[in-house]
A and B are shown apart, each in its own frame.
Chain A
Amino acid sequence: MSADELGHVGSTLGERAVFGFWVFLMSDAVIFALLFATYGSLLDATAGGPTPAALFRIGDSLIETWLLLSSSFTFGMASIAMKYGNARENVGPLLAWSAVTVVLGLSFTGMELHDALTLFQQGAYPSRSGYLSVLFALVPFHGLHVVGGSIWLIVVMVQLLTFGRDVRVNMNMLRLGLFWHFLGIVWVAIFSVVYLQGLIR
């Protein structure tokens, strides 16, 4: 029995799952929005410590941006492979694009981690000031999302190998796609609000 024949009316399981995930993303977006608002309110709270202008190297964050946006592209390719891949068992292209996406995602977080360690060495750590507190909340919160998304994608890859492309794997890919592109959008906001704005402060 397929998941769509469950005797519920009005909507299929897949529809509900995707719609529900949009709703979840709204809640997640509220969290990011509030962290951005807190960031704005603490921009000047450097308490004599390092300021954004003194800290950021725009080149690194630009590379991070390219890594993450490329991963959104490769995830898109994975989605296309899922949609147009003909045989249920033919999961090769889907797996390959997913693997590239995971590598890009983890490279992004690796670079972020490296950035953070560099900042620490320069005396810019969260307990130094209100500004650094919110910097080290907003950016790592996004980074944790990327790590979580990568783990999720690895789990989906294992499921692909175990079950092939069944309804639940497809549903997972659809929702993960929303999640992944959402993280790309949030990163664009972080790049603009945190790093670009940092250049002029």
Chain B
Amino acid sequence: MTDAHAWHVLFGNIDAHSWAFVRAWDNPTVSEVIAAVAAAIVVIAAAALGALTTALGKWRYLWMEWFTSLDPKKIAIMYVLIAFVMLFRAVIEGVLMRAQQAVAVNSPGFVSPEHFAQLFSTHGTIMVFFMAMPFIAGLFNYIVPLQIGARDVAFPLLNSISLWLTAGAAALLMASLVVGKFSTGGWTGYPPYTELGFSPGVGPDYWIWAVTLGSIGSNLTGLNVFVTIYKMRAPGMHLMRMPLFCWTALCTAILMIFAMPPLTVATALLALDRYLGYHFFTNDLGGNMMNYANLFWLFGHPEVYILILPAFGVYSEVVSTFSSKALYGYTSLAVATGAIAVLSFTVWVHHFFTMGQSADINGAFGIATMAIAVPTGVKIYDWIWTMFCGEVRFSVPMLYSLAFMVTFVLGGFSGIILAMPPLDFQVHNTVFIVAHFHNMLIPGVLYGLLAGYHFWFPKAFGFRLNERWGRIAWACWVAGFFLTFMPLYVLGLSGMVRRAQEVFEPAFRPWLFVSFGGASLLLCALVALLVQLWVSIRERADNQVFVGDPWDGRGLEWSLSAPPPEYAYAVVPVVHGRDTFFEAKRNLNARPPPERYADIALPRNSAAGVLIGISAAAAAFGLVWHIWWLAILGFTAIWAAVIGRSFARAVYRIVPAAAVERTEARWRHAIGDALPVSRACETTSANRGLARAPS
């Protein structure tokens, strides 16, 4: 066996030039240096975190309290943490792209074409699969069980497995910065471009396996949320009494159950093409890439609603709470949510009107697309009517909701334009599309997630976030959005193609400058969020809301302490209608002390989820680099962990009644000590989490 051969067996296709640092050393262009700096940030940040944890002696704590925990509230926080880390990377990539286009008018700029293509591929992949999806999974995990009066999700271990599959996939994406290159095929990874013939490197393989792991994790999350809502509601919590966020979670979960499999099929078949020489999507020997387009968008369009429906749920909660009014048109909102979920499966062809199907087919899908505007419009009106004559407080979540309503409607109008095939032919593949989907996804997903983050942060951590920095961040997100993406509508109508590394029309320059300015504001928004978190943690003593109801909330989640105890409900609540907790406050019977406490069984920690996530990521890394032993080892380890775990019997532990009573007594004591706060003062230090309920 020669050395080269042994190397290949051990390390697959990895060689010196796989490393971003070596490439930058050999060829120190700005583009390569940027890549090396990004790689260095990943390596240094990982090493620093590891060193810090070791220095503080916190590994055991992290392992016992967080990594192996099956508590959905902790799993939720880890999900949101992943989302924020990935959001940082993807926003910076977005700003880099806008900077490149601003300087690349009749000039090559500073980012090479290949690097630019990696930037738009990772930006899209991360924002969809590793920012929005984990954030949504996090909100579901934290809020849904609390809102339906459950202590846990239906399958706690499966929940942990979903988290660690997502984390493993995100780690794979981070690894692609350091070793190798990411795909240049966009977030959709269209073949035949991503086939071996045109993309022989590891890029598409990184994309395939990261997306596949992420999609399996999301599929299992959907299953879990669905069964949780269907089977674990508290007595009296009929479906039509659930908070609207739970309705959107239910519909999203159903979409995840049916829409993630097509993505898995698409990526798996593409992998067969690339690894075993199959001909699903190749140009020759009977391959047909249209199958890929159909499979991908059969997932891709429902995915849009997987992302947007949870945000609709957040807005419903926020608008109702901060307007101090019951949600207007609850039934119509629930029905509209279901209608959107069903219709989302009937419109996928509008993502490729120009790819050769007949005008009749395009027409049918165009009409179906416009039909979705109807239930969406119903929702917008319902939120407006909820605010009407309400006592509206312009807190940060409410500001995001208002910005959403205005901005999202504008995006909807451009969607109606694109739904007409003849018009779509005019603007397809231009930055008009880029403007449109950012116009839907930034207000329709990001604002919603941030509104939820501000709204429920006090519930999860026991103190409110700083309002002032929240407003600054909000102003930057909103102004940044308009400045970045409105120029792209103009540019798109003028014919500027999307994904262009260089631009050859000097007239575009002013618009591109404005767009870059907006992108810089978006970066400021992100920094403001970080500053806000820092300031809030520093001033947390002044903003404690341990009693747990800082906003005069409506759902059951506000009836618990902040943060809630690990068992959530000492006694399972009985529900008598919508907004039970809100009504109970008015009847001065908000937190009735139970007659007696009982033992509570909670799932024990399990390392299985972590092992499965790490093994899956290792297997995926082995597949990317053709390190076959690692791939086989990882795959075997996954199933060994599954089978080994199936032999575990003592999977529950008991929280004794006495311990529950102690925890509850401490909280009830705090309630007794707290002064009720009026709505007008809810953003001051007077707010201890006990809302004054005007009767």
Q: Residues of A with Cβ closer than 8 Å to B?
A: 1, 3, 5-11, 15-17, 19-20, 23-24, 26-28, 30-31, 34-35, 38, 41-42, 45-47, 49, 126-131, 133-134, 136-137, 155, 159, 162-163, 166, 168, 172
Segment at the interface with A among B270-278, B421-429, B545-553? B270-278
Apart from A19-B230, A23-B227, A27-B258, list 16 A-B contacts with CB within 8 A. Answer: A7-B600, A10-B234, A11-B232, A16-B154, A26-B258, A27-B261, A31-B264, A35-B265, A42-B280, A46-B286, A47-B286, A126-B279, A130-B279, A130-B288, A133-B273, A155-B643
Shortest distance between the CB of B655 and any CB in chain A (Å): 10
Contact B286 A130 (CB under 8 A): yes
Question: Does B98 belong to the interface (CB within 8 Å)?
Answer: no
A selection of 20 A-B contacts at a CB cut-off of 8 Å is: A7-B599, A8-B232, A10-B234, A23-B223, A23-B226, A28-B261, A34-B295, A38-B265, A46-B286, A49-B285, A126-B272, A126-B276, A127-B276, A128-B279, A133-B272, A133-B279, A133-B286, A136-B278, A137-B278, A163-B649
Contact B286 A8 (CB under 8 A): no
Contact A38 B269 (CB under 8 A): yes
Return the chain B residue nearest A141 by Cβ.
B268
Residues of B within 8 A of A20 (CB): 154-155, 223-224, 227
Return the chain A residue nearest B654 by Cβ.
A1
Shortest distance between the CB of A165 and any CB in chain B (Å): 13
Provide the bound-state CA to CA distance between A137 and B262, in Å: 15
Provide the bound-state CA to CA distance between A8 and B260, in Å: 29
Contact A41 B155 (CB under 8 A): no
Provided the pairs A34-B261, A166-B649 are in contact, do residues A42 and B288 lie with their beta carbons within 8 angstroms?
yes
Question: Does B49 belong to the interface (CB within 8 Å)?
Answer: no
Contact A126 B277 (CB under 8 A): yes
Size category of the B interface is 35 or more
B637-687 residues at the A interface, CB under 8 angstroms: 643, 646-647, 649, 652, 654
Question: Does B231 belong to the interface (CB within 8 Å)?
Answer: yes
Contact B231 A16 (CB under 8 A): yes
Residues of B within 8 A of A15 (CB): 231
User: Across chains A and B, which 10 residue pairs bring their CB atoms closest together, nearest first?
Assistant: A130-B286, A45-B286, A127-B277, A133-B278, A11-B231, A30-B261, A47-B286, A47-B285, A129-B286, A20-B227
Provided the pairs A8-B151, A19-B230 are in contact, do residues A30 and B288 lie with their beta carbons within 8 angstroms?
no
Contact A41 B288 (CB under 8 A): yes
Provide the bound-state CA to CA distance between A155 and B265, in Å: 28
Residues of B within 8 A of A136 (CB): 278
Residues of B within 8 A of A8 (CB): 150-152, 232
Number of contacts between A and B (CB, 8 Å)?
Answer: 139
Contact B223 A27 (CB under 8 A): yes
From A7, A11, A49, A128, give the contact of B598 (CB < 8 A): A7
Provide the bound-state CA to CA distance between A5 and B291, in Å: 49
Residues of B within 8 A of A172 (CB): 646
Question: Does B572 belong to the interface (CB within 8 Å)?
Answer: yes
Q: Which of A11, A127, A133 has the most C-beta atoms of chain B within 10 angstroms of its own C-beta?
A: A133
Residues of A within 8 A of B269 (CB): 38, 137
Provide the bound-state CA to CA distance between A147 and B154, in Å: 28
Contact B652 A1 (CB under 8 A): yes
Contact B231 A130 (CB under 8 A): no
Provide the bound-state CA to CA distance between A166 and B273, in Å: 45
Contact B285 A26 (CB under 8 A): no
Return the chain B residue nearest A34 by Cβ.
B265
Contact A130 B280 (CB under 8 A): yes
Provide the bound-state CA to CA distance between A76 and B547, in Å: 55
Majority-rule SS of A interface residues: helix
Residues of B within 8 A of A38 (CB): 265, 269, 280, 291, 295
Shortest distance between the CB of B226 and any CB in chain A (Å): 6
Residues of B within 8 A of A27 (CB): 219, 223, 257-258, 260-261
Provide the bound-state CA to CA distance between A130 and B652, in Å: 50
Provide the bound-state CA to CA distance between A11 and B649, in Å: 20
Question: Does B287 belong to the interface (CB within 8 Å)?
Answer: yes
Contact string against A for B residues 232-268, beta-carbon threshold 8 Å, 1 for contact and 0 otherwise: 1111000000000000000000000110111011000
Question: Does B601 belong to the interface (CB within 8 Å)?
Answer: yes
Provide the bound-state CA to CA distance between A24 and B227, in Å: 11
From A7, A126, A163, give the contact of B151 (CB < 8 A): A7
Provided the pairs A1-B601, A6-B601, A16-B231 are in contact, do residues A31 and B261 lie with their beta carbons within 8 angstroms?
yes
Contact A6 B278 (CB under 8 A): no
Shortest distance between the CB of B470 and any CB in chain A (Å): 37
Provided the pairs A8-B150, A20-B223, A155-B646 are in contact, do residues A42 and B286 lie with their beta carbons within 8 angstroms?
yes
Provide the bound-state CA to CA distance between A155 and B513, in Å: 63
Return the chain B residue nearest A20 by Cβ.
B227
Provide the bound-state CA to CA distance between A170 and B295, in Å: 37
Residues of A within 8 A of B264 (CB): 31
Provide the bound-state CA to CA distance between A162 and B14, in Å: 45
Provide the bound-state CA to CA distance between A131 and B154, in Å: 42
Residues of A within 8 A of B262 (CB): 30, 34
From B150, B278, B295, give the contact of A127 (CB < 8 A): B278
Residues of B within 8 A of A16 (CB): 154-155, 227, 231-232
Residues of A within 8 A of B601 (CB): 1, 5-7
